[in-house]
Structure 1
Amino acid sequence: MYLTNACGCFLFNIANFVLNLQILALSVIMLLFEAGVSSSSSGLENQIFQYIDLHQNEFIQTLKEWVAVESDSIQPGLRQEVIRMVELTADRLRALGATVELVKLGSHKDIPVNLKFIIEGMEEAGSLGLEEIIKKENQRFFSDVDFIVISDNLWLNNRKPALTYGTRGNICFSVEVRCGERDLHSGSFGGIIHEPMTDLIALLDSLVDTSGRILIPGVYDDVASLSEEEKKLYEAIEFDIEEHKNNSGVKKFLYDTKEEILMHLWRYPSLSIHGIEGAFHEPGIKTVIPARVIGKFSIRQVPHMDISIGEHQVIKYLEDVFSKRNSPNKLKVSVPIRAMPWVANINDPLYTAATKAIKTVFGQDPEMIRDGSTIPIAQTFQNITRKSVMMLPVGAADDAEHSQKEKISRHNYIQGTKLFATLFLEIAKLPGKLQETSNTTTTN
């Protein structure tokens, strides 16, 4: 489901607070323009900031109302809440004078940049069908879009704003080992059969060593070499290792230096084991031998790694390890999820505009960072539309995204509203080689 706005194209995870502050930023600019303020007026940014500061309590109240809607697309029982959030957003856009329809676009150029919105509420459930819509609309809806901005990640720390220019991809694997049709009692069969759990644990244990290095042959072959320019970016980044430990709740990392930690988070692949399905996991002891167990792990890929090649390498490796065990059990390896890594050019005009906006709002240049997680829509947009894509985080490192206590501070929320308003103005100042009115698509 998507809606379009005559003012423009942002793609949003409906539950995300960023949608709220972006629309607030847009509404502030429109209010000032309706009051007769020109985009060339001196002190326009100060007027915007003053308005936001004076009305921040109203903004916070609106945010409370929005986040109270349980628009969690991963839970089927809450799908109606996702729809309700879409309707609330549509009402808000209509109140700003936007035309909200299912597909048809209008045109509106009363503000310095022409914005397009796509509102999509199923990101956590995989955004099924979204890629097909982007392909279908590429020559129409996206034809006059210059930039795509995504807000779906965090700063590297709690103090300094950041711009994100790359993310890792992800391949998720399920490894099933089966010995029979039903579970067995360990007193009756333990010691005389090849147990599936033993085979599975051996397979999972063979994937990575104690230093975190992936043991599958060929995995690192296509990882890009570290350039001097990239190396300097890591050296300049402010990163407090102890703060990162505190945020994560762990006492020791695999690596000791800032550069090593960031590189292994961002530019090198990693393998994580996530769980075992079919194993007894409740409190107490149950002396059962599971007939069928499924191990689940994933590899975070980096730019230049080929997903299909990586998939083949993993499956062949697991089959080789399993064959050496001489087990009569059945092995089945499947790949339920594939997501591409993404990297952008930090010298692109969009990054220049965002850097200036951050400098204006926060009084300092942003950190240029990558993200170790996966946001597949970034690469999808870049591949299909061939537009400039950027990630503009507004949350701090301790916002605990995806956890039970996910939050955003009042400071980041209000300053983030100012940031998007300033970014719209900076995009409008870009060189004339762009369209007279730039279209900006933002996503989160």
Structure 2
Amino acid sequence: MALMAPLPASIYVNRVGRIRDINLVSRCPRTEQSFTMPHGDTATVRIDNASVQQLETCRTIGDNNLPTWMCAGDILAKQNIYGRGSTDDKGPVLAWLSALEAYQKAEVDVPVNLRFCFEGMEESGSVRFSEFAQEHKDIFTKVDAACISDNYWLTTRKPCLTYGLRDINYFTITIAQKPLRDMGLCPSIALADSNGNILIPGINGLVDDVTPDKIAQYEDIDFDMDEFRSTIGSEAAIYATAKDTLMHRWRYPSITIHGINGADPSPNQTTAIYPKVTEKFSIRTVPTMEGKTVTALMVHYLEQEFKKLSSTNTCEVKQFGESAPYWVANTEDSEFAAGRAATNRVYNTKPDLTCESGSIGVTLDIQNALGHDKSIMLLPVGRSDDGAHCPHEKLDRDNHIEERKLLGAYWWYFANE
């Protein structure tokens, strides 16, 4: 890509200090770059992260013998761009900058004022981003709307606009002294049934009832179960229909076990007895589920169930890390109107309106800095099969090219609502 013409800008650096156990790639200071405003006093803010998960994580979840470039570099092959961050999120960053460069090369004025925010700690928990957003609220004072590219299409064939994210509460349960006995008994402490329904008393009562109009929203979403099974590489989908699958990804809470620390992971014939074992798990929550209430119910349930084992071991349940609150946008505002118009112009189709089963913590941080009367929209660049964080992470070249057009059109339609 040719060098862009110089643009007047101001740089804000927010140093996070010494961070332990974080890979060097993610130790970048947080930087916010804001372009001058030739179109008055309002602007649209762009949020992107440039961090990637550490190399060990990349290798752990895939082929440990992959060549280094598959986990650390970028390469164009078979119409795809491969490499760490190609879809999450260096590729989207490049797409936005390429759209800006296209305006410059065409000698056309960019129709909106822009503030770009590049985050370097997203894959390490967005350390101090919340504090930065609050300490520098003046950056966002005259901003009309924010657009974040940190997710993906729901499928491989149809673009979408995203208006909702689930919350996450992360926990650890640690059993000490002679833990292996109780780890064998712990499966009897059921967190969910075979259909994914959470069994913790009080949790389901926090979820809103499903209304007919809400159910109808899922009927028109382009989502194919066969394609979904192919993407996840398994026939073991919990739910048989697209509607039920989407509803349990978007509007119902879910529990996931992420790993067990303390046991020997090697293939060797180990005879050691470990004195302490820790299990990590999380619960994804939805609007109306208050995080502190969920944590209290979870801790109380596990402590009471462990007492029933009459164990001589100790058990400690605690929340781990920071939660990322849920977020829901208004899909009828001018920003989503611009997103729909731009998608129709470039792809000749109406985008699906989707939620994400995961969390993007900085979304609510930006919403709080902007004010809840301002709009935020998630505008994905990649496809559902891109494999973010995986060894074979990729971004389709077609997506990279067409999304540059989409982003440029989005600016134009936002300015000419």
Common fold by TM > 0.5 = yes
1:221-236 equivalent positions in 2, closer than 5 A: 221-236=205-220
Structure 2, unaligned runs of 5 or more: 1-29, 37-42, 51-84
| Matching residue of 2:389 | 402
Does residue 6 of structure 1 match 2:35? yes
Give me the whole-angstrom Cα distance separating, in 2, the residues matched to 1:201 and 1:123. 36
Query: Residue deviations 1:125-152, cap 9 Å, x none?
Result: 11111101111122x1100001111111
| Equivalent in 351, 365, 380 of residue 393 of structure 1 | 380
In structure 2, the residue corresponding to 1:160 is in which secondary structure? Answer: coil
| Matching residue of 2:159 | 161
1:383–1:225: structure 2 CA closer, same or farther, 3 Å change rule? Answer: farther
Query: Residue deviations 1:187-240, cap 9 Å, x none?
Result: xxxxxxxx3123234335421222221111111112122233322220001111
In structure 1, the residue corresponding to 2:163 is in which secondary structure? Answer: strand
1:202-217 equivalent positions in 2, closer than 5 A: 202-204=185-187, 205-217=189-201
1:59-98 equivalent positions in 2, closer than 5 A: none
User: Is 1:203–1:321's contact at 8 Å kept on the other side of the alignment?
Assistant: no
1:369-380 equivalent positions in 2, closer than 5 A: 369-380=354-365
Structure with greater proportional helix content: 1
| Equivalent in 292, 301, 309 of residue 285 of structure 2 | 301
Structure with greater proportional strand content: 2
User: Is 2:129–2:365's contact at 8 Å kept on the other side of the alignment?
Assistant: no
User: Is 1:162–1:367's contact at 8 Å kept on the other side of the alignment?
Assistant: yes
| Matching residue of 1:353 | 338
1:405-416 equivalent positions in 2, closer than 5 A: 405-416=392-403
In structure 1, the residue corresponding to 2:401 is in which secondary structure? Answer: helix
User: Is 1:169–1:374's contact at 8 Å kept on the other side of the alignment?
Assistant: yes
Query: Residue deviations 1:167-201, cap 9 Å, x none?
Result: 1111111111111xxxxxxxxxxxxxxx3123234
Give me the whole-angstrom Cα distance separating, in 2, the residues matched to 1:30 and 1:146. 23
User: Is 1:233–1:368's contact at 8 Å kept on the other side of the alignment?
Assistant: no
Instruction: Give the drift of 1:285.
Output: 2.3
| Matching residue of 1:21 | 95
Give me the whole-angstrom Cα distance separating, in 2, the residues matched to 1:240 and 1:366. 16
Does residue 253 of structure 1 match 2:237? yes
Does residue 330 of structure 1 match 2:329? no
In structure 2, the residue corresponding to 1:289 is in which secondary structure? Answer: coil
Give me the whole-angstrom Cα distance separating, in 2, the residues matched to 1:201 and 1:243. 36
User: Is 1:223–1:302's contact at 8 Å kept on the other side of the alignment?
Assistant: yes
Query: Residue deviations 1:42-90, cap 9 Å, x none?
Result: xxxxxxxxxxxxxxxxxxxxxxxxxxxxxxxxxxxxxxxxxxxxxxxxx
Q: Which has the larger radius of gyration?
A: 1
1:56-135 equivalent positions in 2, closer than 5 A: 110-135=109-134
| Matching residue of 2:276 | 292
| Equivalent in 169, 172, 178 of residue 171 of structure 1 | 169
| Matching residue of 2:295 | 311
In structure 1, the residue corresponding to 2:206 is in which secondary structure? Answer: coil
User: Is 1:357–1:422's contact at 8 Å kept on the other side of the alignment?
Assistant: yes
Give me the whole-angstrom Cα distance separating, in 1, the residues matched to 2:216 and 2:148. 25
| Matching residue of 2:351 | 366
Instruction: Write the letter of the residue equivalent to 1:395.
Output: G
Identity of counterpart residues, as a percentage? 36
| Matching residue of 1:275 | 259
Give me the whole-angstrom Cα distance separating, in 2, the residues matched to 1:359 and 1:201. 55
Instruction: Write the letter of the residue equivalent to 2:154.
Output: L
Give me the whole-angstrom Cα distance separating, in 2, the residues matched to 1:229 and 1:142. 35
Query: Residue deviations 1:15-39, cap 9 Å, x none?
Result: 521111101101111232x3xx5xx
Q: Size of the alignment, in residue pairs?
A: 339
| Matching residue of 2:411 | 424
In structure 1, the residue corresponding to 2:297 is in which secondary structure? Answer: helix
In structure 2, the residue corresponding to 1:10 is in which secondary structure? Answer: strand
Q: CA RMSD in A?
A: 1.4
Instruction: Write the letter of the residue equivalent to 1:394.
Output: V
- Normalising by structure 1, we get a TM-score of 0.74
Give me the whole-angstrom Cα distance separating, in 2, the residues matched to 1:28 and 1:117. 17
Query: Residue deviations 1:252-311, cap 9 Å, x none?
Result: 211111110100011100001111100111103212321100011110111111110000
Give me the whole-angstrom Cα distance separating, in 2, the residues matched to 1:150 and 1:232. 27
| Matching residue of 2:183 | 200
Give me the whole-angstrom Cα distance separating, in 2, the residues matched to 1:300 and 1:285. 37
Structure 1, unaligned runs of 5 or more: 38-109, 180-194, 431-444
